[in-house]
Amino acid sequence: MADHYNRPPFITDDPICIPHRFSKQQDVEIAGFIVAMLAWGRRQTIISKASEFIELMEGEPYRFVMEHSEEDRKAFLNFKHRTFQPTDALYFLAFLQHHYQNNKSLESAFTGGGTLQSVDVGPALIRFHKTFFSLPWAPERTKKHVATPERGSSCKRLNMFLRWMVRNDKSGVDLGVWKEIHPRQLLMPLDVHVGRVARRLGLLNRKASDWKAVLELTEAVRILDKEDPVRYDFALFGSGVLENQESNLSSTIRNAPSEDGVGLR
């Protein structure tokens, strides 16, 4: 099942299509980070809003990050996606510019510039959160958009972003541009689809979709593949989405009016 979804046709309708538009590592990182941080809601909406953000960066994320001025940031004053507001967009740009002026890769914000030594990426996520909000003008409101295990969050979007950047199994889906983190250290991106399927299969018993649930689920799939446990994200997520689509279709059919105006039951 994992291999069924872990192949190029999966890319087209998934937010990972955004970083796949680029070849330069820094462009891939920035585009991937932006779309991952905007990844809540319908996938097509996520793709649309991330594309809009990239267009405001003049289609060249890394060049824009490195060269843009305060004046250039005004283009983002009308950018919104759900609770992600212009204030958040402006801080994201400020952090990225500050970071890339001093580092070659966003990976170092997670690892500190060396190979990650911990069992999993938990410490890396904590490091990233502290680094991301280290600028003195970091808005308090923006902190809700970048999760951390220290608050018990599942860190779904960051774990998804790390999956994109780290995994490289030659399937063509994940991008595998980072080398300081090993696939065995990755943790499952836990969303509603993955959680529902995982609980039904007995891979996850915890009811809350929090950090402890992420560790429990990852440990369960690690038994199947200790070197690359997150490869099962494809099977769980893909099955969950398909199941949800079938459920929505079934509901639509049941509630569709018949010729006499009575809903089908």
Does a structural domain hold residue 199?
no
Encoding tokens for residue 155?
């860190």
Q: Quote the domain boundaries for residue 61.
A: 7-187
Digit-by-digit pLDDT tens for the chain (265 residues) are: 556 667 787 889 999 999 999 999 999 999 999 999 999 889 999 999 999 999 999 999 999 999 999 999 999 999 999 999 999 999 999 999 999 999 999 999 999 999 999 999 999 999 999 999 999 999 999 999 999 999 999 999 999 999 999 999 888 899 999 999 999 999 999 998 899 999 999 999 999 999 999 999 999 999 999 999 999 998 887 664 545 444 432 332 233 343 333 332 2
Does a structural domain hold residue 250?
no
Strand-pairing partners, residue 260, are none
Give the count of domains, the chain: 1
Does a structural domain hold residue 99?
yes
Does a structural domain hold residue 41?
yes
Residue 143 three-state SS: helix
pTM equals: 0.89
Does a structural domain hold residue 231?
no
Distances (CA, A) of 92 to 33, 54, 112, 157, 260: 10, 13, 19, 15, 55
Residue 162 near residue 181 (C-beta atoms within 8 A) = yes
| Amino acid identity at 231 | R
Does a structural domain hold residue 77?
yes
Does a structural domain hold residue 156?
yes
Q: Where are the alpha helices (DSSP H) in the chain?
A: 2-5, 25-37, 43-56, 61-67, 86-100, 108-111, 122-132, 156-166, 192-200, 211-222, 233-255
Please classify residue 255 by burial: count the beta carbons closer than 10 Å to its beta carbon, then call 0-12 exposed, 13-18 middle and 19+ buried. Answer: exposed
The length of the chain in residues reads: 265
Does a structural domain hold residue 161?
yes
